[in-house]
Amino acid sequence: MKVAAVLDVAPNKDLYLNRELGVLAFNRRVLAMAEDESVPLLERLKYLCIVSSNMDEFFEIRVSGLQEQIRQNPDFRDKDGLSALETLHRVSAVSQEIVELQYRLFNDSVLPAMREQGIALMTLATWNEEQAHWARQYFRNEVLPVLTPIGLDPAHPFPRVLNKSLNFAVELTGHDAFGRASNVAIVQAPRALPRLIRMPSNLSGYEHGFVMLTSILQAFIPELFPGMEVHGVYQFRVTRNSDLYVDEEEITNLRVALQGELSQRHFGDAVRLEVSDQTSPDMTARLLKEFGLPEQALYRVNGPVNLVRLMQLPDWVDRPDLKFTPFTPGLPDALAKQSDIFKAIQKGDVLLHHPYQSFSPVLEFIKRAATDPEVVAIKQTIYRTGTESVLMESLLAAARSGKEVTVVLELMARFDEEANINWASKLERVGAHVVYGVVGQKTHAKMLMVVRREKTETGKVVLRRYVHLGTGNYHPKTARLYTDFGLFSCDEALGQDVHEVFNHLTGLGRARKLNKIWNSPFNLHSNVVQSVRKEAELARAGKKCRIMARMNALLEPHLINELYAASQAGVKIDLIVRGVCALRPGVAGLSDNITVRSVVGRLLEHSRVFYFSNDGEEEVFISSADWMDRNFFRRVELAVPITDKKLKKRVIDEGLKALLADNILAWVMDAQGNYTRKKPTGARRVNSQVYLLSSLSTNFSGQNEPTSTSLP
């Protein structure tokens, strides 16, 4: 089996939408959750923080990529027909609009509503004399000892500013102790300092009063410059290119090469400058010049330059009435009735739908495998798992006990590289086999295999493979926030397939055809294309046909063209795309039969599900892959068929139909890439996430949620 070839298409603005603008459109939908007054108040604050975090990554990766494209190949045009420079101009304009709205919501809506509920952010302008005294004492005792002011002069050039760090530019006049007359100084806020500080309630006048470090520094930085006149103190923050470049054709040791790059990630080229809106024009011009940025890279904000730092505030406030209703993830009957997970899987495949259903069976599965004397080998892929992981600790314990442990660990998992390198070192120290997949092909597949020695009914001893295959990472924290499917099975054909894929990753030799699983970079793309074409043929023959698919992104142009052709043949196609979608739905004569919707709610929609009617013989797959070039051609991905009838129905109902019925959280996209939020008609109100929480989890009342009913 050969690696699939990447398929090029000619740029065509009539067929494809712009990727970067699609990412921004998703962030605008997230921001709409902060606008929605039916969303609990502290959750609205969280959405504002999430948008800031998303925009940070957008500039670090996507905007920096545009800048690199402008430098290296300015004439190149993407699939939508736009050059990188044209895209950058459009992106800058939309980003400014998003940031302006974000801070307007923060200042004019969320903060006043929080104060009414006894939760206040005590800004410098609101301090009374007692509060100012408390803040000054905090500054002198907790902050001042670790600050290092840097006056700019020939001996003190502009300091290196870390990516996304909090800094202050100070305008001043006068002469210092050495007679120097510098008029600019820089003060960097050490990362060790907390960005949010609780003010005693007897001083704040609120049950929950907080002060941001920015306010304290803004007020008292002048004390660092005795005898000089301070004219202005301005906060600023620089976002830098954070994509790592490793020449995979030249390196001999990926881990060593990556470690060398990680140390420089914080000092990549600047791509964005954020300043407080009070910053003087002279200082703004000075900062833009220092970082080599044009005016369009400047973002003036009315408030803290990093709202992400407020993400912890809701956790510090015990107000359940201002947060989403808590829930306890449920268990499928197969596991609730059988405490031995291996015996439960022997009786039939087990489907988990996270976070509505618990991730703990996955942790229990690996924990049990690590201590079970009958288990002889464990193999697992790791893409993201976090700096602390019960699952990884179980793998370490298994290796220490002498089991064969093999971990295919993806070192190039963006922003998790350092954590994965550390886990690799720990695993190797206890004797586990650690490999980094295939150079040039990220291992994004989510698979776990346990090989167990068991006796059959006839007394014969055999090795049985148990597998877990999923759409999400082996990360217990995100498993509480991301929607994903996971499948447990001891099906012999599936086990053989997973065994083969592990051999592809760790060994050498040609890839053999798998029994059931579709995998990239070999046949996932071609099989999806063939399934789309088959639905088109069924439509032309007047037979049952339909395509439903759910993913995080849809960008691969060849597949988009196939979907257009199927639509023209009469196939009804419903696409649920959380983020960016390059396909234009509803274009007369091109995509009349295609709908695209995005669901944005309290949980991050992360599942990938593919459905093909196949004349009533319904084919359903759960997958680790989005429909993007990289997932089809530059990554190791899996699409796993769901063959059990009951489980297949569950995936269709829970993973597709529930979201297609949603008229509370769903947004419908038009041919120009604009989204309109669905509105309930009559009494029928469907919030898919609340419906699934009510159906699958336990102890969930739904009282704080944006409206819900059962599905029709």
578 is in an annotated binding site: yes
Pull the structure tokens for residue 235.
């906060």
414 is in an annotated binding site: yes
606 is in an annotated binding site: yes
In angstroms, rounded to a whole number, what is the distance separating the alpha carbons of residues 694 and 201? Answer: 38
In angstroms, rounded to a whole number, what is the distance separating the alpha carbons of residues 682 and 494? Answer: 46
Q: Are strands 196-199 and 604-605 parallel, antiparallel or unpaired?
A: unpaired
In angstroms, rounded to a whole number, what is the distance separating the alpha carbons of residues 158 and 150? Answer: 8
Which of 227, 211, 223 lies closest to 147, judged by CA? 223
Give exposure, 508-541, as e/b (b: 16+ Cβ within 10 Å): eeebeebeebbbbbbbbbebbbebbebbbebbee
User: Cβ(291)–Cβ(260) under 8 Å?
Assistant: no
Peptide bond into 355 cis (omega under 30): yes
User: Cβ(551)–Cβ(579) under 8 Å?
Assistant: no
Q: Are strands 604-605 and 446-455 parallel, antiparallel or unpaired?
A: unpaired
Which of 250, 280, 244 lies closest to 262, judged by CA? 244
Angle between helices 417-429 and 390-400 (to 10 degrees): 20
Contacts of 247 (CB under 8 A, 6+ apart): none
CA dihedral 395, 396, 400, 403 (to 10 degrees): 20
Q: Is 402 helix (H, G, I), strand (E, B) or coil?
A: coil
User: Cβ(593)–Cβ(586) under 8 Å?
Assistant: no
Residues forming beta bridges with residue 198, ordered by sequence position: 210
Peptide bond into 521 cis (omega under 30): yes
Pull the structure tokens for residue 582.
């390059």
Answer positive or negative: Cα dihedral of 436, 442, 444, 447: negative
User: Cβ(587)–Cβ(568) under 8 Å?
Assistant: no
Q: Is 27 helix (H, G, I), strand (E, B) or coil?
A: helix
SS3 per residue for 274-340:
EEECCCCHHHHHHHHHHHCCCHHHEEEECCCCCHHHHHHHHHHCCCHHHCCCCCECECCHHHHCCCC
User: Cβ(580)–Cβ(19) under 8 Å?
Assistant: yes
- 504 a catalytic residue: no
Contacts of 670 (CB under 8 A, 6+ apart): 585, 586, 676
Using DSSP, how many helices (H) and how many strands (E) does the chain show? 23, 27
| 386 CA to centre of own chain | 13
In angstroms, rounded to a whole number, what is the distance separating the alpha carbons of residues 448 and 467? Answer: 6
DSSP string, 175-222: --TT-----EEEEE--TTS-SEEEEPHHHHSSSEEEEEHHHHHHHHGG
**Long-range pairs of 339-344 with CB within 8 A, sequence gap ≥ 24:** 341/365, 341/368, 341/488, 342/368, 342/372, 342/452, 342/466, 344/488
- Among residues 208, 353, 354, 444, the one annotated as catalytic is 444
User: Cβ(231)–Cβ(173) under 8 Å?
Assistant: yes
* Beta carbons within 10 angstroms of residue 230's beta carbon: 16
Binding residues for ATP: 54, 482, 578, 606
Q: Hey, which residues are catalytic here?
A: 444
Binding residues for Mg(2+): 384, 414
